[in-house]
Structure 1
């Protein structure tokens, strides 16, 4: 078993446990930049990784009653068909080709930058939307906007493995500002389970999942997430998110210009 992948899984798990940010924005660029894993295989392996870890998180949130299943259904209505179509598109253009690898690499960079925006400005956006209740969507408009948001996330997650964490949570907060933080987290994780599972199945069909790498990452990430969850109370959240945002921005620039 390769210790560097175990250590990487532990480091990513630690940061996820401390910040709550989805592992895709950390793991996929790490595999691509540091270890030279092809973008398609990095995405496919991370999606399989996410579908397993988020399943455990959903069970916990369900027990706590912090999942809004109606919102989950609306998001899935847009995300799941979009994930299937994105998988078919990847198959059509050749997932493992050099040209498609470059496109996936750019999509990863764009998704990472969106994650940075979500990390830095989510609270300000929430304050603005609460200060302007007349701008909040209601009824059919809210339902349709949720479905469209799910479709956008479905494409992003399938192509880059990034989007079901910070980006998804930010969209939920903007559409449903009255939800508590726990409800946002629970709903975000719950819709991400079928999305990442279908996207991972698509990459399995495409042959872009490294199962031995997946197992090695899980060995490191499970204790990392556990320790990170306990350590989160001792480290200021704002400081952590600021450091993480700067790191992700540097990663995005590296992906674009390397």
Structure 2
């Protein structure tokens, strides 16, 4: 096996392992690693999107059998995210002839979303505590207002995911926790994964149609990530969350800062 191929398989193994242990979306880790390997930003984003669609499809099957998915919430999110992703892809397609501008835009957007993801990872418990503390007061919306806000959340996630491949994991989960504080954690996680699959699939196929895809690379990443997720899931909880989460946040923040500045 060539050194480069071996490196991609190991990258998939490491990212899958961390995702299995922490639940943090693979895009926030995989896309920066692909940039480090010298993959251009557009191809890194496109490849990672289909990588996420494949890996999270297995999660949907498991959560679906366990009835951990709220399909109504998934529908409202998708109503906003998929059209937003399509519009973002159209905008990126308009820049297709200017690859330098396209890659610069994706690189800087990726940096900003990584900074947001780092903050979401670091302050997740504080945000959850706030949501539960104020779940019954005037801040919490209901009915059509809550549905509208869920669609708007989907719009924001769809734009971020299509542009950077990041957002449907850590940011999407935190957003759902804030919007639906009474929903059980396992159902929120399952709902986020169910929403991420069609979003990443549409965005990934859109990037593939623009040539932003490396199919061989995708295969190498999946060869490593699938066993990595299995191992990480079984070791989840062995490392204290108070140690793992800050380390992960610092790493994401450092990468994001470097990409932006």
- Could you tell me the TM-score, scaled by structure 2's length? 0.96
2:216 corresponds to: 212
2:158 corresponds to: 154
Indicate how the Cα distance of structure 1 residues 96 and 42 shifts in structure 2: closer, same or farther if over 3 A, else same. Answer: farther
| 1:36-55 matches, cutoff 5 A | 36-55=38-57
Matched, 1:235 2:222: no
Q: Confirm or deny: 8 A CA contact 1:129 1:135 kept in the other structure.
A: no
What do the CA deviations read for 1:140-163 (whole angstroms, capped 9, x no partner)?
110000000001100000000000
Indicate how the Cα distance of structure 1 residues 95 and 39 shifts in structure 2: closer, same or farther if over 3 A, else same. Answer: farther
The one of 12, 15, 25 equivalent to 1:12 is: 15
Q: Distance in 1 between matches of 2:114 and 2:31?
A: 10
Deviation at residue 131 of structure 1 after TM alignment: 2.1
What do the CA deviations read for 1:108-149 (whole angstroms, capped 9, x no partner)?
111111111111112212222222232101111100000000
Deviation at residue 202 of structure 1 after TM alignment: 0.4
Indicate how the Cα distance of structure 1 residues 190 and 8 shifts in structure 2: closer, same or farther if over 3 A, else same. Answer: same
With 64-73 and 112-121 compared, the bigger mean Cα shift is at 112-121
Matched, 1:135 2:120: no
Q: Distance in 2 between matches of 1:124 and 1:242?
A: 13
Matched, 1:3 2:10: no
- Could you tell me the TM-score, scaled by structure 1's length? 0.97
1:83 corresponds to: 85
What do the CA deviations read for 1:30-87 (whole angstroms, capped 9, x no partner)?
111x211100000000001000011110010000111000000000000011111111
SS in 2 for 1:204: helix
Q: Distance in 1 between matches of 2:9 and 2:133?
A: 46
Q: Confirm or deny: 8 A CA contact 1:156 1:162 kept in the other structure.
A: yes
Matched, 1:175 2:179: yes
Q: Distance in 1 between matches of 2:34 and 2:98?
A: 16
Indicate how the Cα distance of structure 1 residues 17 and 67 shifts in structure 2: closer, same or farther if over 3 A, else same. Answer: same
Q: Confirm or deny: 8 A CA contact 2:20 2:232 kept in the other structure.
A: yes
Matched, 1:253 2:254: no
1:29 corresponds to: 32
Deviation at residue 213 of structure 1 after TM alignment: 0.3
Q: Confirm or deny: 8 A CA contact 1:29 1:251 kept in the other structure.
A: yes
Q: Distance in 2 between matches of 1:227 and 1:62?
A: 22
Count of matched residue pairs: 256
Which runs of 4 or more aligned residues in structure 1 lie more than 4 Å from their structure 2 counterparts after TM superposition? none
Q: Confirm or deny: 8 A CA contact 2:13 2:225 kept in the other structure.
A: yes
Matched, 1:192 2:196: yes
